[in-house]
Every structure is written in C-alpha cells, then in structure tokens.
C-alpha cells in the first residue's frame, strides 16, 4: 500500500484532519518524522488521545515509509511500535491494581492519589511558591527508601534541581524524623524484621540513596534527562525521579518559542518512556502563571469543585500543550490559610481534594500535623 496516503483518506473527524493540515501534515509519510503522540499533540494542537489515534491509523503506512527509508528503524519505527503495542483491558486493570505506590506521609493526600504516587507514570504537582512543592519532592525522595518490612518500595531517588531550592539541612531534619518514626513503630510492634530494617535505615543511608543533580540552564536539563536511561541502568535501585521544577529554565527569557515547544515535547516523551519501561515514578514540580480573563477553572467531580478562585487566575505554566505530558496532575494551593491539594487530572482516580501539612518533620497529614495512619506501620 502507498505509504504516502493522503491524510484525508484516514477515518478521522473533520476537525482533526483540519488541524493536521494546518500544522503542515498532508500525507502519512509526513508523520514519519514525528517522535510520538506528545510531539504530534503539541504541533497540531490535538489532545493526546487524538494524536494517539492519528498515529495508530497511520501506523501501517508509517511502517512502510520507515522500511523504505532504511529497515524500519529510527524514531518513526519506535513511535509506531509504541503506538500499536496492544494489551487487553484486563491486563491494564491488573497492572493498575498491582501498581507500586510511594506514600507521601500525608494520609489524605495518599488517598486522593490512590494510596500514593504511582510508579510507571508521571505525576505533576503545580502550585505557587511556598505551598510546599520542594518539601514534597524531598519527602518523596526519602519515602521511596522505606524498607519493605514497613510496606515501602526500598528504592533510591534521583533529584534534579533546576532552581537551587534543594535544602540539605532541611532534608537532614526530615531524614532524622523518618528514622525516629520507624524506630518507634518497630519498638511498638515488637517485630524483629521491622527492628532490623529500622536499625539499618540511618540518616547517612537515606542521604546516600538520593542522587542529586544541579542543572543551571535548559541545556543542562535536557542533557540530564537524556542521560537518565544510562544512569538508571547503572543504578537499578532508583525507583523515583524528581524534577524541581521542570519549567523553571523554559520560562526564563526563552526567545525561540517553537524550539521550546519541540524540546519540551521531546523531554516529555523521554520521561514517559522512562517511567513505563523501568516502572519508576516520575514526579514533576511545576510553577503557575497568571492568566487574566479566564474564568474557566478546573474540572469538577469527586464532591469538590476545583479551586475556582485560584484556577480562574493561576494556571500551570507552559500552557495546555504541556498538560498532556503528565499522567496525573495535582494542583497545590492555599485555602483559608491551609494547604490543599486538588487532583485535577487522573486516568484512574476521581477529581477531589485533600488537606496536607508541612511540619518540622516534613510533609504530613492535616489532622494535628499528621495522623498516625498517614505513616508506615
């Protein structure tokens, strides 16, 4: 079959065909250079689902094009393979039910997320300065190291710091609190396995389990993401990657907006592949920006409206195209002097909110600065 099949020959809605044509795509052969659905969604202003459908429908023709170009390799062949790899609905359900979770130490927030931050996905936390994004990132970098005896992942973390907000003194304080808590739990339970695991998890061990990268511009950030696969291959214990914040360098006097869009799409695609292939949790901290005149707020459902007063004026940075990058998106905001988290986007959990607190010990549940049930037992 002719790999140069015209876009109008695909069974797509008129609006999708129009967006593709406006973006310069006329034939399926022209889709061969697209790295994946995120890039196509960004270039053609499609939703992630629409972009994925386009690539699936064009897949046979893209395979033929890639084969003629040189044996089916390259980004086109890889994108086609990713887009056409099929699993059953039952397999998806089983994978979601058995997914590993990294707790946040805040019971209410963990419940909103479905028992914690899910591995194999990208979770984005967006919020204003001071709401606790960096504190949450550091807490997760510690929590991913919880021993299996306490129901933890017993992994390590990569922390990519773009703003210089990583605070070692604060991290040590949080690590000491975690070590003391596990020792108390082990003593109360009288469990030899817990006692041995708690004794082994010292402050030094926790600090050694966090691999820290300081990146000072967008070039270093892109390079760090590019090198992650080889770094994780050499450090297979890593189960969490935190980027704080993912948008900082892409908002600082970035002149070429088209290049920025392409680079962000490529980075998002790399992080998606990394999370899925290695079953790690990728956590992105994002800033917010003012959007004047927008009274549309966020999604509804789950018994709580999105924080309308906040969402009407403050929206996650980088616009709608970047919103497709994350599997789960959580809006962190202030409400009547209290920190709240609202799960704005998730394929598995309903949209709803919860309170959380930042205490001297770290991120905890809102009840009395952190209920016991929000912590491992």
Distance CA 269, CA 73 (A): 18
In the prediction, which pLDDT does 297 show? 44
Distance CA 142, CA 207 (A): 8
Encode pLDDT of 303-359 as tens digits.
455 555 544 567 888 777 788 889 999 999 999 999 999 999 999 899 999 999 999
Distance CA 181, CA 164 (A): 29
Domain with CATH 3.40.50.300 in the chain: 93-374
Distance CA 50, CA 10 (A): 13
Residue 70: is its pLDDT beyond 50? Answer: no
In the prediction, which pLDDT does 51 show? 80
Among the listed residues 148, 146, 144, 141, the one whose alpha carbon sits nearest the alpha carbon of residue 179: 146
Distance CA 332, CA 131 (A): 7
- Bridge-based pairing of strands 362-365 and 353-359 is antiparallel
Q: Which two tokens stand for residue 226?
A: 């590019």
User: Residue with structure tokens 């290049």?
Assistant: 259
14: confidence class by pLDDT, cuts 50, 70, 90: confident
In the prediction, which pLDDT does 208 show? 98
Residue 67: is its pLDDT beyond 50? Answer: no
**Helices (DSSP H) in 313-365: which residue ranges?**
319-323
Supply φ then ψ for residue 123, to 5 degrees: -115, 125
Distance CA 140, CA 136 (A): 6
Distance CA 34, CA 275 (A): 20
Encode pLDDT of 248-289 as tens digits.
988 766 677 788 888 888 899 899 999 988 999 999 999 988
Q: Kindly report whether the global pTM for this prediction surpasses the value 0.75.
A: no
In the prediction, which pLDDT does 91 show? 72
Percent of the chain with pLDDT over 90: 52
CB 297 within 8 A of CB 333: no
User: Residue with structure tokens 């016991």?
Assistant: 372
HSE value, Cβ hemisphere, 13 Å, CA-based, for 32: 21
In CATH terms, 93-374 corresponds, of 3.40.50.720, 3.40.50.300, 3.30.390.10, 3.30.360.10, to: 3.40.50.300
Q: Which two tokens stand for residue 164?
A: 């210089």
Supply φ then ψ for residue 143, to 5 degrees: -65, -30
In the prediction, which pLDDT does 375 show? 53
Encode pLDDT of 143-198 as tens digits.
999 999 999 999 999 999 999 999 999 999 999 999 999 999 999 988 899 999 99
**In the predicted model, what is the mean pLDDT of the chain?**
83
CB 36 within 8 A of CB 84: no
In the prediction, which pLDDT does 319 show? 77
Task: Provide mean pLDDT across the span 283-306.
Answer: 64
How many residues comprise the chain?
Answer: 377
Distance CA 298, CA 352 (A): 11
Residue 79: is its pLDDT beyond 60? Answer: no
CA angle (81, 85, 88) in 5-degree steps = 180
């Amino acid at each position: 079959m002719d790999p140069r099949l015209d876009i109008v020959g695909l069974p797509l809605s008129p609006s999708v065909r129009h967006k593709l044509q406006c973006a310069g795509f006329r034939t399926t052969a022209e889709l061969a250079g697209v790295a994946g659905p995120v890039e196509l969604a960004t270039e053609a202003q499609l939703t992630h689902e629409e972009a994925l459908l386009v690539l699936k429908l064009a897949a046979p023709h893209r395979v033929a094009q890639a084969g003629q170009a040189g044996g089916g390799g390259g980004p086109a062949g890889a994108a086609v393979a990713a887009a056409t790899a099929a699993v059953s609905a039952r397999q998806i359900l089983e994978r979601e039910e058995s997914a590993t979770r990294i707790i946040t130490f805040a019971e209410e927030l963990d419940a909103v997320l479905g028992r914690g931050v899910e591995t194999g996905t990208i979770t984005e936390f967006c919020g204003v300065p001071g709401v606790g994004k960096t504190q949450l990132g550091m807490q997760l970098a510690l929590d991913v190291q919880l021993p299996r005896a306490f129901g933890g992942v017993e992994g390590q973390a990569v922390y990519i710091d773009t703003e210089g907000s990583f605070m070692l003194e604060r991290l040590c304080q949080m690590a000491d609190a975690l070590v003391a808590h596990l020792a108390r739990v082990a003593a109360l339970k009288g469990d030899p396995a817990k006692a041995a695991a708690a004794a082994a998890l010292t402050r030094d061990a926790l600090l050694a389990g966090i691999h820290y990268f300081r990146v000072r511009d967008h070039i270093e950030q892109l390079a760090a993401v590019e090198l992650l696969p080889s770094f994780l291959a050499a450090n297979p214990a890593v189960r969490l990657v935190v980027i704080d914040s993912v948008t900082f360098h892409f908002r600082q006097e970035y002149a070429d907006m088209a290049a920025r869009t392409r680079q962000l799409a490529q980075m998002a695609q790399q992080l998606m592949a990394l999370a899925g292939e290695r079953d790690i949790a990728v956590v992105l901290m994002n800033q917010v920006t003012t959007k004047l005149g927008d009274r549309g707020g966020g999604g509804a459902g789950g018994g709580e409206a999105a924080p309308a007063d906040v969402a009407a004026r403050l929206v996650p940075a980088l616009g709608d195209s970047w919103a497709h990058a994350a599997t789960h998106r959580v809006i962190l905001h202030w409400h009547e002097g209290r920190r709240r988290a609202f799960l704005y986007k998730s394929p598995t959990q309903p949209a709803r909110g919860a309170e959380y607190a930042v205490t001297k010990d770290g991120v905890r549940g809102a009840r009395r600065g952190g209920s016991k049930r929000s912590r491992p037992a």
